[in-house]
Protein backbone atom coordinates (compact mmCIF):
# COMPACT_ATOMS: atom_id res chain seq x y z
CA UNK A 1 0.00 0.00 0.00
CA UNK A 2 1.23 3.45 -0.85
CA UNK A 3 2.09 5.35 2.37
CA UNK A 4 2.53 8.75 0.73
CA UNK A 5 0.94 11.75 2.42
CA UNK A 6 -1.24 12.34 -0.63
CA UNK A 7 -4.78 11.09 -0.36
CA UNK A 8 -4.89 10.14 -4.02
CA UNK A 9 -2.41 8.49 -6.30
CA UNK A 10 -2.47 8.11 -10.00
CA UNK A 11 -1.98 4.60 -11.34
CA UNK A 12 0.85 4.14 -13.76
CA UNK A 13 -0.28 4.13 -17.33
CA UNK A 14 1.53 2.64 -20.29
CA UNK A 15 -0.64 4.32 -22.90
CA UNK A 16 0.26 7.84 -21.77
CA UNK A 17 -3.38 8.85 -21.26
CA UNK A 18 -4.54 10.61 -18.13
CA UNK A 19 -6.04 8.21 -15.62
CA UNK A 20 -8.56 8.98 -12.90
CA UNK A 21 -7.17 9.22 -9.38
CA UNK A 22 -7.56 6.20 -7.09
CA UNK A 23 -8.48 6.78 -3.44
CA UNK A 24 -5.91 5.20 -1.08
CA UNK A 25 -7.52 5.97 2.27
CA UNK A 26 -9.83 3.27 3.63
CA UNK A 27 -13.56 3.73 3.23
CA UNK A 28 -15.76 1.97 5.77
CA UNK A 29 -18.84 0.62 4.06
CA UNK A 30 -20.03 -1.79 6.73
CA UNK A 31 -20.70 -0.20 10.16
CA UNK A 32 -19.46 -3.34 11.91
CA UNK A 33 -16.02 -2.95 10.29
CA UNK A 34 -15.66 0.70 11.29
CA UNK A 35 -13.49 1.47 14.32
CA UNK A 36 -15.54 2.00 17.50
CA UNK A 37 -16.31 5.63 18.34
CA UNK A 38 -14.44 7.11 21.26
CA UNK A 39 -16.59 8.32 24.11
CA UNK A 40 -15.26 10.90 26.50
CA UNK A 41 -16.55 11.27 30.02
CA UNK A 42 -18.00 14.70 30.76
CA UNK A 43 -15.76 16.98 32.80
CA UNK A 44 -17.42 18.75 35.74
CA UNK A 45 -17.88 22.50 35.55
CA UNK A 46 -14.95 23.27 37.84
CA UNK A 47 -12.61 21.32 35.53
CA UNK A 48 -11.59 18.81 38.19
CA UNK A 49 -12.34 15.16 37.63
CA UNK A 50 -14.69 13.90 40.36
CA UNK A 51 -13.41 10.34 40.31
CA UNK A 52 -9.65 10.83 40.38
CA UNK A 53 -9.36 9.61 36.79
CA UNK A 54 -7.81 11.77 34.08
CA UNK A 55 -10.31 13.92 32.16
CA UNK A 56 -11.82 12.09 29.21
CA UNK A 57 -11.28 8.59 30.62
CA UNK A 58 -13.94 6.21 31.85
CA UNK A 59 -13.71 3.82 34.80
CA UNK A 60 -12.75 0.28 33.92
CA UNK A 61 -14.64 -2.85 34.75
CA UNK A 62 -13.40 -4.75 37.74
CA UNK A 63 -12.46 -2.04 40.21
CA UNK A 64 -14.11 0.41 42.59
CA UNK A 65 -13.37 3.98 41.49
CA UNK A 66 -13.23 5.16 45.11
CA UNK A 67 -12.48 3.47 48.40
CA UNK A 68 -14.98 2.68 51.12
CA UNK A 69 -13.75 5.64 53.18
CA UNK A 70 -13.41 8.01 50.22
CA UNK A 71 -16.14 10.35 51.40
CA UNK A 72 -13.90 13.41 51.11
CA UNK A 73 -13.96 13.03 47.33
CA UNK A 74 -17.63 14.05 47.34
CA UNK A 75 -18.51 15.93 50.51
CA UNK A 76 -22.14 16.57 49.53
CA UNK A 77 -22.98 12.87 49.15
CA UNK A 78 -21.03 12.14 52.33
CA UNK A 79 -23.12 14.63 54.28
CA UNK A 80 -26.41 13.35 52.89
CA UNK A 81 -25.36 9.71 53.29
CA UNK A 82 -24.57 10.16 56.97
CA UNK A 83 -27.42 12.47 58.01
CA UNK A 84 -30.23 11.32 55.72
CA UNK A 85 -29.18 8.02 54.16
CA UNK A 86 -32.67 7.20 52.88
CA UNK A 87 -32.23 9.90 50.21
CA UNK A 88 -28.98 8.42 48.93
CA UNK A 89 -30.31 4.85 49.14
CA UNK A 90 -33.36 5.92 47.13
CA UNK A 91 -31.13 7.39 44.39
CA UNK A 92 -28.92 4.29 44.39
CA UNK A 93 -31.91 1.94 44.14
CA UNK A 94 -33.48 3.93 41.31
CA UNK A 95 -30.22 3.94 39.31
CA UNK A 96 -29.38 0.27 39.91
CA UNK A 97 -32.96 -0.82 39.10
CA UNK A 98 -32.83 1.43 36.01
CA UNK A 99 -35.97 3.30 37.08
CA UNK A 100 -38.13 0.27 37.88
CA UNK A 101 -38.10 1.32 41.55
CA UNK A 102 -38.53 5.03 42.17
CA UNK A 103 -36.22 7.03 44.40
CA UNK A 104 -39.08 7.68 46.84
CA UNK A 105 -40.02 3.99 47.06
CA UNK A 106 -36.42 2.85 47.55
CA UNK A 107 -35.83 5.49 50.23
CA UNK A 108 -39.08 4.70 52.03
CA UNK A 109 -38.33 0.95 52.14
CA UNK A 110 -34.90 1.72 53.61
CA UNK A 111 -36.44 4.14 56.13
CA UNK A 112 -38.95 1.53 57.33
CA UNK A 113 -36.32 -1.23 57.47
CA UNK A 114 -34.17 0.93 59.75
CA UNK A 115 -36.65 0.29 62.57
CA UNK A 116 -36.30 -3.49 62.18
CA UNK A 117 -32.51 -3.48 62.06
CA UNK A 118 -32.29 -5.29 58.72
CA UNK A 119 -31.77 -2.29 56.45
CA UNK A 120 -28.22 -3.51 55.78
CA UNK A 121 -29.64 -6.60 54.03
CA UNK A 122 -31.61 -4.33 51.68
CA UNK A 123 -28.58 -2.21 50.77
CA UNK A 124 -26.40 -5.33 50.55
CA UNK A 125 -28.58 -6.70 47.74
CA UNK A 126 -28.12 -3.51 45.70
CA UNK A 127 -24.39 -3.39 46.41
CA UNK A 128 -24.15 -6.96 45.07
CA UNK A 129 -26.14 -5.99 41.97
CA UNK A 130 -23.83 -3.02 41.33
CA UNK A 131 -20.73 -5.21 41.71
CA UNK A 132 -22.10 -7.79 39.28
CA UNK A 133 -23.09 -5.14 36.74
CA UNK A 134 -19.62 -3.59 36.60
CA UNK A 135 -17.53 -6.71 37.33
CA UNK A 136 -16.21 -5.37 40.63
CA UNK A 137 -14.54 -8.11 42.71
CA UNK A 138 -16.04 -9.18 46.00
CA UNK A 139 -18.64 -11.54 47.34
CA UNK A 140 -21.86 -11.69 49.32
CA UNK A 141 -20.09 -12.10 52.68
CA UNK A 142 -17.94 -9.04 51.99
CA UNK A 143 -21.01 -7.04 50.91
CA UNK A 144 -22.95 -8.10 54.01
CA UNK A 145 -20.11 -7.29 56.41
CA UNK A 146 -19.47 -3.94 54.73
CA UNK A 147 -23.13 -2.96 54.96
CA UNK A 148 -23.52 -4.22 58.54
CA UNK A 149 -20.52 -2.42 60.01
CA UNK A 150 -19.94 0.51 57.63
CA UNK A 151 -23.43 1.17 56.31
CA UNK A 152 -23.15 4.92 55.72
CA UNK A 153 -19.75 4.58 54.05
CA UNK A 154 -21.07 1.77 51.87
CA UNK A 155 -24.11 3.80 50.79
CA UNK A 156 -21.84 6.73 49.89
CA UNK A 157 -19.40 4.48 48.00
CA UNK A 158 -22.22 2.97 45.92
CA UNK A 159 -23.53 6.47 45.15
CA UNK A 160 -20.07 7.67 44.05
CA UNK A 161 -19.61 4.55 41.92
CA UNK A 162 -22.90 5.13 40.13
CA UNK A 163 -22.00 8.78 39.63
CA UNK A 164 -18.56 7.96 38.21
CA UNK A 165 -19.98 5.34 35.88
CA UNK A 166 -22.54 7.87 34.66
CA UNK A 167 -25.57 5.99 35.96
CA UNK A 168 -26.37 9.17 37.93
CA UNK A 169 -25.97 12.76 36.89
CA UNK A 170 -23.15 14.40 38.87
CA UNK A 171 -24.20 16.97 41.43
CA UNK A 172 -27.89 16.05 41.56
CA UNK A 173 -28.11 16.09 45.36
- Residue 37 vs residues 25, 31, 33, 60: alpha-carbon distances, Å: 18, 11, 12, 17
Does the pLDDT at position 65 exceed 80?
Answer: yes
Q: Give the total residue count for the chain.
A: 173
Q: Whole-prediction pTM value?
A: 0.64
pLDDT tens profile 97-133: 999 999 999 999 999 999 998 999 999 999 999 999 9
| 97 CB-contact burial (10 Å; exposed 0-12 / middle 13-18 / buried 19+) | middle
Bigger pLDDT: 24 or 166?
A: 166
Question: What is the model's pLDDT at position 33?
Answer: 54
pLDDT tens profile 43-63: 444 444 444 445 555 556 778
* In contact, 55 and 49? CB cutoff 8 Å: yes
Question: What is the model's pLDDT at position 59?
Answer: 57
pLDDT band at 71 (very low <50, low <70, confident <90, very high): confident
65: left (phi over 0), alpha (psi -120 to 50) or beta: alpha
The torsion angles phi and psi of 34, rounded to 5 degrees, stand at -75, 150
What 8-state DSSP symbol labels residue 149? H
% of residues, the chain, pLDDT over 90: 46
Question: What is the model's pLDDT at position 88?
Answer: 94
pLDDT tens profile 15-44: 555 555 554 444 445 555 555 444 344 444
Amino acid sequence: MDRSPDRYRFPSSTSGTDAAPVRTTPVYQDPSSAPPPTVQAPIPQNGQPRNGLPPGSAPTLGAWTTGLCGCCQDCASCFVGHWCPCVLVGKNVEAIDEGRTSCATGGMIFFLLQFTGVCCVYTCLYRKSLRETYGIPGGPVEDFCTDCWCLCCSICQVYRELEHRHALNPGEL
